[in-house]
Amino acid sequence: VGKDVALVGREVALVGQEVKVVGQEVAFVGQEVALVGREVALVGREVEVVGQEVALVGQEVALVGQEVALVGQEVALVGQEVEVVGQEMALVGQEVELVGQEVEVVGWEVALVEQEVDDVGKEVDDVEQ
């Protein structure tokens, strides 16, 4: 909150938001909170996804009060409520900006792969050497 966080070798900016995630597996792979090579701006909205698998692949995804299969198409997120419950989400190669949203992480498994955390990343390099 209020600082830059490096997830999966990229930089993720979490600014004054609450994040709520329940019973999900989230894989962050080499991206700035990347979602399949596109930029996703979440601004002051609640996202609710229940009992489904969402694959974000090379697109901007817009969820508008419905269940959407995001695959190679463009979607806009507009004032919707999104709750992620019991889902697997693969975030790959995309930049995601979380601004003023509520996010709560509850009982989740978060896989941080190849992540660099500013000074921490440098310290790790020194240790490896």
More confident residue, 92 or 120: 120
| Amino acid at position 1, single letter | V
Region 50-59: mean pLDDT is 35
Q: Is the pLDDT of residue 108 over 50?
A: no
**Which pLDDT tens digit goes with each residue over 12-52?**
444 334 444 433 344 433 333 333 333 344 433 334 333 33
Give the span between the Cα atoms of 7 and 117, in whole angstroms: 8
